Every structure is written in C-alpha cells, then in structure tokens.
Structure 1
C-alpha cells in the first residue's frame, strides 16, 4: 500500500526523499477483528483519480496474513494504518472507497470522473 503525498509535497522530486522506506507485505490478508469505534479519514485512490471523500472505518483492526517470506503473521493496527489496510483489502474484494458513500455522493463522483475522462479524450483528439 502506498500513502499519497501530502499537498505540501506536490511538485517536490521524490528523489529528494531521504527517509528509508519500510514496505509492509500482506499475502492473503484477512481481517479477523474490527473495533466498533470509528475513525474518519479523507480517502482517495488511483482507481478513482482526483476524487476524495471522508470515509468512516473501524478505528482498529487485526489482520492475519503471510509476510514476504510466507510466514504467518497477525498485525494489530489502528488509526491511519488500520484505514489503509481496510482500504487495500477492500480492493481485493472489488470494493472502492466510493462504495461507502451515499448514492448521491457516489453519483456525483462518477459524474466528475466521466467529465474528466471526456475532457482527457478531447485533449488527445484535438
């Protein structure tokens, strides 16, 4: 999973990033527990470009998975990490963050995406 850059980082070359990256690997992840407490975070996704919405998800979750070496693991996550894990596992189940929105909000985003796509095609054709 990859967290998008903050708005302050827009235009900054990624090569400037000196922080070491610690990727997490989740093979066959399964959420085995979710808290009843919710956490709201503004989500976006490359599958729904340039669209963002506040989504309520469980504040904590426990996920079982295999690591990079195929060893079984269980991770207890909370806050933003729990949100990211749930978001990415949703992808494996064919669910996008906009699927959690009201019908009206989801339709508005789909309409914006259609307009963006049409404008992109028109720029290419012209």
Structure 2
C-alpha cells in the first residue's frame, strides 16, 4: 500500500470505547508499554495536494494517528502510562545520557 500523508492533522472526535496496544517509539529506543487510547478517531488533515480530507480510523490505525498527532503536540507515548513507569523510564534514559557524556 502507498504511504499515507497527513499534513496538520487534527482529531475532531474520539470514541468513548478504549483499546490497548503495545507502543514503542524511536524517541525512546528499546522501551515498549501498553497504552490505552480511544478505539476510534475522526481526523481532518490536508493531503499531499493541500486538499482538506477527513478519515475515520479504528484499531491500530487510530492508535498510530493518535501517537503521531501527540508528537506534533509535544506528547510522547510514555505520557500516557502510569507516573511510576514513566519516572522509571526517564531515570533510565537520564542515566544512559550521563554515562554516554562521561565516556566522551
């Protein structure tokens, strides 16, 4: 299938029903966590030609859209997990950054 292009996407509606998928991200390498999000969303966006479009997505596509739109809003998937788990991940990456800086 051809790649999807979403310019300036915006979530218009989110379902009340929730779904859980294991998410990961290149921003936080080698860490994965189950994230609960709305099971379906309606998103408006501009296509590659600048034409306004809407898509109703459910399942994994809905999760992917929400994950990527979160990035545009400065939110990472770890912002959707418990504070305890998030704090553990942040500590781990801070330690890795310190260790890396010390080895230079």
Give the TM-score, by structure 2 length: 0.91
Root-mean-square deviation (Å)? 1.4
The residue that corresponds to 1:22 in the other structure is 2
1:112 aligns with 92
| Corresponding residue number in structure 2 for 1:17 | none
Q: CA deviation at 1:113?
A: 1.2
Counterpart of 2:32?
A: 52
Q: Please, which runs of 5 or more residues in structure 2 have no aligned partner? A: none
Question: Which one has the largest radius of gyration?
Answer: 1
Q: Compute the displacement of 1:114 (Å).
A: 2.0
Report how far residue 22 of structure 1 moved.
1.4
Distance in 2, matches of 1:31 and 1:74, equals: 10
| Unpaired runs of at least 5, structure 1 | 1-20
1:36 match: secondary structure: coil
Q: Tell me the matched-pair count.
A: 104
> 1:15 matched to which residue of 2?
none
Normalized against structure 1, the TM-score is what?
A: 0.76
Instruction: State how far apart, in whole Å, the 1-side matches of 2:35 and 2:84 are.
Output: 15
- TM-superposition CA deviations, 1:24-58 (whole Å, max 9, x none): 11111111111011110111111112111100000
Q: Does 1:61 align with 2:26?
A: no
Q: What is the CA–CA distance in structure 1 between the aligned matches of 2:96 and 2:3, rounded to whole Å? A: 32
Structure 1 residue aligned with 2:20, among 27, 37, 40? 40
